[in-house]
């Protein structure tokens, strides 16, 4: 049967495959009241829970077990908007549910840190407190984004860095009455080398960029070169012996290189915007425009790469990220955040994000088909308009009830469990109760199901992880050169994570400087966060005094071809070695782990304690190697090969996920939500493109 266009019938049946941020965002948009029930949505989900790479569950002692370390950023306008509307619609009773509003679900997290190895080989954590305000992401429209604006903010950052180190400059910069003449005068000022004159030159640059960058980029670049030489030369000697001066010097070096690159490469006027440099690796591009190797290998840059797992094949010796997307991410993060740089969830990702979305969508009439493993997206035979004719699934388990009820109650808060609720399912393949239903490569099934266009669905949204696409879209990949290029060029990486529950507080380990996230440390776990704010959510009693989360990329060479269980064993060994050999470099404790393992707290479960061969075995760790769990990267040159949700090559089919072309091409919640909203727009025309914040980013 020929497909039905979304405007050809009063009711459009939509099959969304994948219940992560992208799929749920598409469902949220398609089932808004404004559509008056026009879209009947069914979500098909592998395993027992929603969330994809962001899924979490409650384990022993109701402890929160995550796929990794998840923080929301203050520029996540689309994601916060949907969650704000979700909580408002859910309208939980605060007398009965302790997390009833968006304000209770998220808290500001202004602290972050990067590690720096000092000349004597020791490690220092540089703690930064980024400014907060009363603004909230996702509440009101944001202004238009422009590269000129970012240049102004970069100049302001350079001025602030110098002021923070040296203090305020005396006097006022000359007025910019005649801009060309003033630029020449400012160049002479900066050439003199006076600190005050350099300050004035930067201030002047900050005020004239918006009116001059598109007309006199070369002249501004010349002026910037003189300013940067003057400022960096003045700091260079102090930076040799003063860590604070070295940090300022490094940040200035990176800031000036970014500004020079934008001006010299003509990004202000290039219609491609930052995508014009997407074929460059970020560090390569910065050094092309004057950044030192010392700066591009600094803790700041390592922190940037660590936070987005930007290592080819997970190899820490091969840092790699698209320069355009790297700058876009830095600019959005630093210059457009609202309220706080980071926002932390006051529970697990499953509790705070996916349980509320599930409840709201369920109320709206969305059907959920859990334990459905997609095996094939089938194209219609040649001869008609290109469209998807069939979706084939393996049904992983039967149900003992009409529908699977996935949530559990944790003292009034609906949550996802860390394992399927086996009293509701019937599976002859799970006699010992240990089957991993989230292992996409597990072929066991109790049934098969084929959905046919016209009979079961009118429109399909593929919202699975990129790692699944080569397995389920073979027909499209064989028929479509763009899809073949996409699966070859847009890459994913495995990740690893572990969590600790400690009987001593962080001050005991010399980390009483506030709950923060820290990147740029040694492998195999370069990023960690103090997550002690979650103690109140778990049920260890008063025994737990601190919680720590750790994560990093997982090198492909160590896990290629191994089973998920074997990969988890590799992560366990990595974690134990890291605790024995590395953590003492930034946590105050004896080397080689002496005494430290005894600070680890097991959940109150005698069986688990007896089975533990090592104190670490009572903690939680995981290897994210399943096809649907792998992290989407932004490698140089790959952005051009992404498929957009707005692509209309197939009449009744679109895609959603952080691996698509969505305006923010990075692996994160915001990109997934933007993509889901774009998929909804492709079907319904809503939301309008100007409502999808950042989609038109330069």
Q: 3-state DSSP: the chain helix, strand, coil percent, rounded to 5?
A: 40, 20, 40
Secondary structure (3-state) at 222: helix
Helices (H) and strands (E) in the chain, counts: 21, 26
- Does 177 have pLDDT greater than 70? no
Q: How many CB atoms lie within 10 A of CB 515?
A: 18
Whether residue 583 has pLDDT greater than 60:
yes
pLDDT at 187 over 90: no
Q: What are the structural domain ranges in the chain?
A: 12-61+347-491+634-691, 146-335, 495-624
What pLDDT does residue 212 have?
77
- Band the pLDDT of 189: cuts 50, 70, 90: very low
Confidence tier at 445 by pLDDT (50, 70, 90): very high
- Cα–Cα dist 258/327, whole Å: 8
Residue with tokens 């602290």: 111
- Kindly report, residue by residue over 626-651, the tens digit of the pLDDT: 999 999 999 999 999 999 999 999 99
Per-residue pLDDT, 198: 75
- Please give the pLDDT value at position 592: 45
Residue of higher predicted confidence among 140 and 57: 57
How far apart, in Å, are the Cα atoms of 526 and each of 261, 581, 692? 29, 14, 33
Q: 28 φ, ψ to 5°?
A: -60, -45
| Residue whose structure tokens are 């393992």 | 597
Q: What is the mean pLDDT of residues 252-274?
A: 95
pLDDT category at 2 given cuts 50, 70, 90 is: very low
**pLDDT for residue 602:** 74
The answer, yes or no, to whether residue 585 has pLDDT greater than 60, is yes
220: three-class secondary structure by DSSP: helix
Write down the pLDDT at residue 143: 78
The pair of structure tokens assigned to 360 is 């709201």
DSSP 509-538: GT--S-S-EEES--TT--EEEE-GGGGGGS
Query: In DSSP terms, which residues pair with 114 in a beta bridge?
Result: 126, 519
pLDDT band at residue 200 under the 50/70/90 scheme: confident
**Integer distance in angstroms from the first to the last C-alpha of the chain?**
42
Mean pLDDT of the chain: 90
Superfamily grouping for domain 12-61+347-491+634-691 = FAD/NAD(P)-binding domain (3.50.50.60)
Q: What is the pLDDT of residues 331-356, one digit of tens each?
A: 999 999 999 999 999 999 999 999 99
Nearest CA to 551 out of 584, 526, 518 is that of: 526
The 3-class secondary structure across 306-317, one letter per residue, is HHCCCEHHHCCC
448 class by beta-carbon count within 10 Å (0-12 exposed, 13-18 middle, 19+ buried): exposed
> Between residues 492 and 606, which one has the greater pLDDT?
492
Whether the CB-CB separation of 253 and 298 falls below 8 Å is answered with no
More confident residue, 50 or 604: 50
Which two three-digit tokens encode residue 358?
């599930």
Confidence of residue 224 (pLDDT cuts 50, 70, 90): confident
Taking the C-alpha atoms of residue 585 and residue 26, their distance in angstroms, rounded to an integer, is 45
Could you read off the pLDDT of 353-375 as tens digits, one per residue? Answer: 999 999 999 999 999 999 999 99
Residues 6+ apart with CB under 8 A from 150: 262, 331, 335
Which tens digits make up the pLDDT trace of 414-441? 999 999 999 999 999 999 999 999 999 9
Cis link prior to 63 (omega < 30° from 0)? Answer: no
DSSP 395: E
Q: What is the DSSP string of 139-184?
A: SS--PPP-HHHHHHHHHHHHHHHHHHHH-PPSS-PPP-SSHHHHHH
Q: Pairing mode, if any, of strands 517-519 and 111-117?
A: parallel
Triad 31, 35, 39: Cα angle to 5°: 55
| Residues above pLDDT 70, as percent of the chain | 91
Does the N-terminal peptide bond of residue 390 adopt cis geometry, omega within 30 degrees of 0? no
Judge contact between 656 and 22, C-beta under 8 A. yes
């Amino acid at each position: 049967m020929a497909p039905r266009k979304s405007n050809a019938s009063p009711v459009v049946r939509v099959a969304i495959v994948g219940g992560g941020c992208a799929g749920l965002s598409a469902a949220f948009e398609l089932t808004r009241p404004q559509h008056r029930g026009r879209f009947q949505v069914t979500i098909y989900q592998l395993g027992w829970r929603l969330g994809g790479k962001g899924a979490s569950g409650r384990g022993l002692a109701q402890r929160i077990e995550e796929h990794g370390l998840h923080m929301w950023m203050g520029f996540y306008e689309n994601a916060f908007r949907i969650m704000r509307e979700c909580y408002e619609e859910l309208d939980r009773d605060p007398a009965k549910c302790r997390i009833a509003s968006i304000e209770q679900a998220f808290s500001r997290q202004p602290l972050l840190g990067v590690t720096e190895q000092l000349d004597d080989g020791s490690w220092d954590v540089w703690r930064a407190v980024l400014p907060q305000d009363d603004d909230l992401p996702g509440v009101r429209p944001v202004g238009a984004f422009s590269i000129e604006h970012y240049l102004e903010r970069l100049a302001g950052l350079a001025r602030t860095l110098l002021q923070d180190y040296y203090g305020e400059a005396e006097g006022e910069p000359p007025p910019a009455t005649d801009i060309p003449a003033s630029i020449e005068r400012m160049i002479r000022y900066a050439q003199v080398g006076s600190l005050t004159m350099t300050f004035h030159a930067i201030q002047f640059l900050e005020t004239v960029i918006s009116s001059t960058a598109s007309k006199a980029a070369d002249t501004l670049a010349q002026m910037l070169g003189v300013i940067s030489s003057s400022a960096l030369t003045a700091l260079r000697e102090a930076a040799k012996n003063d860590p604070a001066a070295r940090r300022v010097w490094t940040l200035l070096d990176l800031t000036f290189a970014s500004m020079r690159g934008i001006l010299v490469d003509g990004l202000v006027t290039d219609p491609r915007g930052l995508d014009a440099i997407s074929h460059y690796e970020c560090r390569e591009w910065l050094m092309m425009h004057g950044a030192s190797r010392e700066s591009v290998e600094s803790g700041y840059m390592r922190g940037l790469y660590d936070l987005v797992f930007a290592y080819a094949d997970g190899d820490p010796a091969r840092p790699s990220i698209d320069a355009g997307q790297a700058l876009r991410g830095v600019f959005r993060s630093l210059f457009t955040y609202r309220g706080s740089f980071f926002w932390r969830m006051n529970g697990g990702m499953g509790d705070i994000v996916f349980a509320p979305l599930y409840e709201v969508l369920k109320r709206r009439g969305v059907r959920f088909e859990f334990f459905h493993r997609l095996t094939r997206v089938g194209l219609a035979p040649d001869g008609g308009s290109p469209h998807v004719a069939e979706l084939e699934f393996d049904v992983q388990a039967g149900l003992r009830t009409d529908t699977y009820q996935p949530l559990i109650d944790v003292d009034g808060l609906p949550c996802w469990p860390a394992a399927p609720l086996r009293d509701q399912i019937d599976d002859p393949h799970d006699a010992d109760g240990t089957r991993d239903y989230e292992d996409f490569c597990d072929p066991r099934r109790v049934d098969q199901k084929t959905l046919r266009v016209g009979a079961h669905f009118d429109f399909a949204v593929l919202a699975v992880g990129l790692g699944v696409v080569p397995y389920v879209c073979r027909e499209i990949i064989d028929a479509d050169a763009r899809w073949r290029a996409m699966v070859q060029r847009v890459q994913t990486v495995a990740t690893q994570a572990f969590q600790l529950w400690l009987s001593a507080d962080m001050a005991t380990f010399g980390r009483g400087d506030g709950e923060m996230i820290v990147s740029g440390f040694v492998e195999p776990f370069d990023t960690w966060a103090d997550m002690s704010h979650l103690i109140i959510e778990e049920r260890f009693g008063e025994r737990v005094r601190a919680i720590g989360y750790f994560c990093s990329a997982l090198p492909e060479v160590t896990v290629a071809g191994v089973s998920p269980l074997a990969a988890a064993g590799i992560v366990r060994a990595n974690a134990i070695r890291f605790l024995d050999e590395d953590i003492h470099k930034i946590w105050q404790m004896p080397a080689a782990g002496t005494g430290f393992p005894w600070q680890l707290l097991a959940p109150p479960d005698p069986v688990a304690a007896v089975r533990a061969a090592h104190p670490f075995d009572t903690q939680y760790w995981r290897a994210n190697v399943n096809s649907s769990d792998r992290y989407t990267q932004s490698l140089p040159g790959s952005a051009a090969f992404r498929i957009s949700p707005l692509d209309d090559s197939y009449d009744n089919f679109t895609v959603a996920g952080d691996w698509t072309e969505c305006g923010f091409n990075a692996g994160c919640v915001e990109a997934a939500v933007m993509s889901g909203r774009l998929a909804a727009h492709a079907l319904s025309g809503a939301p309008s493109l100007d409502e999808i914040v950042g989609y038109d980013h330069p």
